[in-house]
Amino acid sequence: MRGRLVAGNWKSNGDLAANEALLGHIRAAAADLQGAACAVCVPYPYLFQARQVLAHSTVAWGGQDVSQFGAGAYTGAVTAVMLREFDCRYVIVGHSERRSVFGERNEVVAAKFGAASQAGLTPILCVGETLQERETGKMEEVVGAQLDAVIAAKGAAAMGSAVVAYEPVWAIGTGKTATPEQAQAAHAFIRARIAAHHAVIASKLVILYGGSVKAANAGQLFAMPDIDGGLIGGAALVAEEFMAICRAAERR
């Protein structure tokens, strides 16, 4: 049976005092989660704090982006090896905000995915279509191309140590969640796309749904056969809400 994972993506939010309270609450509440793993992806400056508060707990932590390059003259870029040095387990790559605001193309995302894998991090590869793409029937074309770019560059076997997050752009931060059926259809498509290359890896691949997940809708989403957890934005900043989502992912 596939594992379950709920990961928080804090985006550019947080401060030392608020983080201390939020991380402390998550650490305590996650201790008795069963059959579901929990992680937080925090802004770079707070990785030190996340490690301090979460060390020796059941909660993992990670970054929200990573450089496609190694050490060197790349002002502002943070390498995968640096993230490992702070004991990150995960790093998000190809989030739609990185793609749309910072102009990251599929090839750059694939290079970041490779850099993360090589350093021993688990990349959380985000894919998803815009509203216009969905309404013009292009979801599979867009998501397929996002997956194919990584498979072409790194091979399907690289998916064996990754997580995929399906995040329809129209559902991110909008309060408009994909229906469980819409999300399930996209997740099944993603799994089939990987299965065409490697059936065993596809069957084991953890695929998260992201986009306006809340405690109130998490249970219905996680009940779908190909939805293995969530990547949570706004609701990950509210301790009780985030932990309720983690509990909705439990398998007892």
Residues 6 or more apart whose Cβ sits within 8 Å of residue 61: 39, 40, 41, 42, 47, 50, 51, 54, 87, 88, 89, 90
Distances (CA, A) of 121 to 60, 96, 112, 227: 12, 20, 11, 22
95 a catalytic residue: yes
Residue nearest to ligand 13P (CB): 233
- 39 or 156: whose CB is closer to ligand 13P? 39
d(CA 222, CA 142): 24
Q: What minimum distance in Å lies between the beta carbon of 70 and ligand 13P? A: 26
- 167 or 226: whose CB is closer to ligand 13P? 167
Q: What minimum distance in Å lies between the beta carbon of 100 and ligand 13P? A: 11
181 a catalytic residue: no
- 23 or 235: whose CB is closer to ligand 13P? 235
Q: What minimum distance in Å lies between the beta carbon of 235 and ligand 13P? A: 6
Q: What minimum distance in Å lies between the beta carbon of 229 and ligand 13P? A: 12
- 18 or 196: whose CB is closer to ligand 13P? 18
**Cα dihedral sign, 226-100-39-243:** negative
**Helices within the chain (DSSP H only):** 16-30, 47-54, 80-85, 96-101, 106-118, 131-135, 139-154, 180-195, 199-204, 215-222, 239-248
Q: What minimum distance in Å lies between the beta carbon of 252 and ligand 13P? A: 25
Count Cβ atoms within 10 A of the Cβ of residue 75 and give its class: 0-12 exposed, 13-18 middle, 19 or more buried.
Answer: exposed
**Helices within 63-105 (DSSP H only):** 80-85, 96-101
Please tell me what DSSP assigns to residue 179.
P
In the set 129, 133, 167, 198, the catalytic residue is: 167
Q: For residue 6, give the 3-state DSSP assignment.
A: strand
In the set 95, 97, 133, 198, the catalytic residue is: 95
Which positions touch ligand 13P (CB under 6 A)? Answer: 9, 95, 167, 172-173, 210-213, 231-235
- 97 or 156: whose CB is closer to ligand 13P? 97
Positions marked catalytic: 95, 167
